[in-house]
Homo-oligomer: A and B are copies of this chain.
Amino acid sequence: MNIIEGGVTAAQGFEAAGVEAAIKYQNRKDMAMVYSRVPCKAAGVFTSNVVKAAPVRWDQEVVAHSAYVQAVVVNSGIANAATGRQGYDCCRQTADKAAQLLGISPDAVLVASTGVIGNQIPIDRLLAGVEKLAESKVDTREAGTMAAEAIMTTDTISKQVAVQIELDGKTVTVGGMCKGSGMIHPNMCTMLGFVTTDIAISKELLQEALSEDVVDTFNMISVDGDTSTNDTLVVLANGMAGNPEITSKNGDYEKFKEALHYINTTLAKLMAGDGEGATALFETKVIHAASKEDARILSRSVIRSNLCKAAIYGHDANFGRFLCALGYSGVQFDPEQVELYFENAEKRMLIYKDGVATDYSEEEASKILASPEVRVLVDMHMGEAEATAWGCDLSYDYVKINADYRS
C-alpha cells in the first residue's frame, strides 16, 4: 500500500468542485460536488440518531435501492435537519437539478448537508450552487482539495487522504475526504465522509467492507459525545481500475479492506484531532481486554470523559480520572489488575499499577500530556482483545465555539 497525495479525485474517473453559494455565510466555499464519469457501486453508513436529517433519509433510499450512483452534492451551511417535508423536497430538487445538468438519473445523486439544525435551506441559492458545481468540476488534485475545503464548518483544516494498492497488476486507488469538528460522536458521526475508488467490486462486498470497518474507525472517535443528525459516510467505487471484479472475500478483498481501513483511520483521527477547540489528539488504547467489545467500550469511555479531556488540556497527570472513566464504562474488571500508562511519540510512562499510583514524576508526566498527540495506554490483563479510540482535549475554545455557534 502506497500513501499518495490527494483525496476524492485521486482515483480514476472522479471529478470534484468546491464553490461559494452563500447558503448561510458569505465569502467562503460552502458547496461541493463529487462526480464519477462512469456509474459507481455505492455503499453508505448513516447516523443512528432517530432524528435523521432529510439528506440522510434521501441517501439511505438511494444507497438501498439505486443500482448505481454517479454524483454527490454537499452543502456546509445548513444541516437540513428538523425541516419536515420542505427539507426532504429540498433534497429531491437538488438531485433533480444535478441529474439534469449531469445527464444522469436523479436517483443516482446523493446529497449531504451539515450546519445549523432547524433552518430551511434557501433553495434558490442551493440550486444556483449546483449549477456552479456542475460547470466547474474537474478531475485535478486541486479540485479535490477545493471540495474538501467546501465541506468544512468549524473545522480548522481540510481533511483528505489517498492510497494505492496493486490488484492483479492493476493499480487501484482509494481516496477520501471528510469534515467534522463538533457534534462528533459518530455512531455513525456531523461527520460527513466521502471515499472514492476506482476498484471493481460488488455492491454487497463494498457495503460489507464499509460497515465492518467503521466499527473500529469512525465509530471510535468522539469530540463531545453528541451523535449528530447528519452523520454520513459514503464510498463510491467506479471500477475504472480494471481489476477483476471482487465478488468474494479473496485476497484482493483483504487488500482493499486494508486500504479502506487506512483511509478511514486517517480521516477519523484527523477529525478527532481537529475537534472543536482541540489542542491535542487524545488517543486511548486498551489492550488485553476480555473481549473486543469490552476494549471498545473502555477506550471510548475514557476519550469521551469531560474530566479526562480537561486534564489533557491542562497537562494534568490526574490519572484517577482515567481510572474512574474506565470504572463507570459498564465493563466489569478488577482495578488492582489494571496498568495505566501515559505516552507520546517518544516516551511511555507507567502511572498506575497494583491498585496504586507508581512513583512517577509529575513533571515528566505533564510533559507527555503536553504533546500534540497524547496516548493513554491501558493494560487490562484479562484477555487478548484490544481497541483504540480517538478524541481531543476540552478547552475554553470548545465552550466559546459552541456558546456562540450561530451568531
Q: Is the interface of A mostly helix, strand, loop or mixed?
A: loop
Those of A290-318 within 8 Å (CB) of chain B: 304-307, 310-311, 313-314, 316, 318
Could you say which of B82, B314, B354, B395 contacts A335, with CB atoms under 8 Å apart? Answer: B82
Q: How many Å lie between the Cα of A398 and that of B406 in the bound state?
A: 22
Closest approach, in angstroms, between the C-beta of A75 and any C-beta of chain B? 16
Per-position 1/0 for A34-53, Cβ under 8 A of B: 00000000000001111110
Q: Is A234 in contact with chain B by the CB < 8 A criterion?
A: no
B51 near A307 with CB under 8 A, answer no
Could you say which of B81, B311, B326, B396 contacts A320, with CB atoms under 8 Å apart? Answer: B81
Q: Is A229 in contact with chain B by the CB < 8 A criterion?
A: yes
A226 near B394 with CB under 8 A, answer no
Those of A370-401 within 8 Å (CB) of chain B: 394-396, 398-400
B402 near A399 with CB under 8 A, answer no
Which residues of B have CB within 8 Å of A320?
Answer: 79, 81-82, 116-118, 229
Q: Is A224 in contact with chain B by the CB < 8 A criterion?
A: yes
Q: How many Å lie between the Cα of A261 and that of B59 in the bound state?
A: 48
Q: How many Å lie between the Cα of A406 and that of B225 in the bound state?
A: 25
Closest approach, in angstroms, between the C-beta of A306 and any C-beta of chain B? 4
Which residues of B have CB within 8 Å of A51?
Answer: 323-324, 326-328, 335
Q: Is A355 in contact with chain B by the CB < 8 A criterion?
A: yes
Which residues of B have CB within 8 Å of A306?
Answer: 224-226, 306, 398, 402
Which residues of B have CB within 8 Å of A333?
Answer: 50
Q: Is A319 in contact with chain B by the CB < 8 A criterion?
A: yes
Q: Is A197 in contact with chain B by the CB < 8 A criterion?
A: no
Those of A50-68 within 8 Å (CB) of chain B: 50-52
Those of A319-338 within 8 Å (CB) of chain B: 319-321, 323-328, 331-333, 335-336
Q: How many Å lie between the Cα of A323 and that of B352 in the bound state?
A: 40
Residue of B nearest to A332 (CB): B50
Could you say which of B82, B85, B314 contacts A357, with CB atoms under 8 Å apart? Answer: B82
Q: Is A404 in contact with chain B by the CB < 8 A criterion?
A: yes
A84 near B355 with CB under 8 A, answer yes
Closest approach, in angstroms, between the C-beta of A167 and any C-beta of chain B? 38
Residue of B nearest to A354 (CB): B84
B403 near A310 with CB under 8 A, answer yes
Q: A225-B225, A227-B328 are in contact. Are A82 and B402 (CB under 8 A)?
A: no
24 cross-chain CB contacts under 8 A? A49-B328, A50-B333, A50-B335, A79-B320, A81-B324, A82-B352, A82-B355, A82-B356, A83-B356, A116-B320, A117-B318, A117-B321, A117-B323, A118-B318, A226-B306, A226-B307, A229-B323, A313-B403, A314-B403, A316-B403, A316-B404, A318-B405, A394-B399, A395-B399
Known: A82-B319, A118-B318, A229-B323. 20 other contacts (CB 8 A): A48-B328, A51-B335, A52-B327, A82-B352, A82-B357, A83-B355, A118-B352, A185-B328, A187-B328, A225-B306, A226-B305, A226-B307, A227-B328, A229-B324, A310-B402, A310-B403, A311-B402, A311-B405, A396-B400, A398-B399
Q: Which 7 A-B pairs have the closest CB atoms?
A: A117-B320, A314-B403, A51-B327, A310-B402, A227-B328, A84-B355, A49-B327
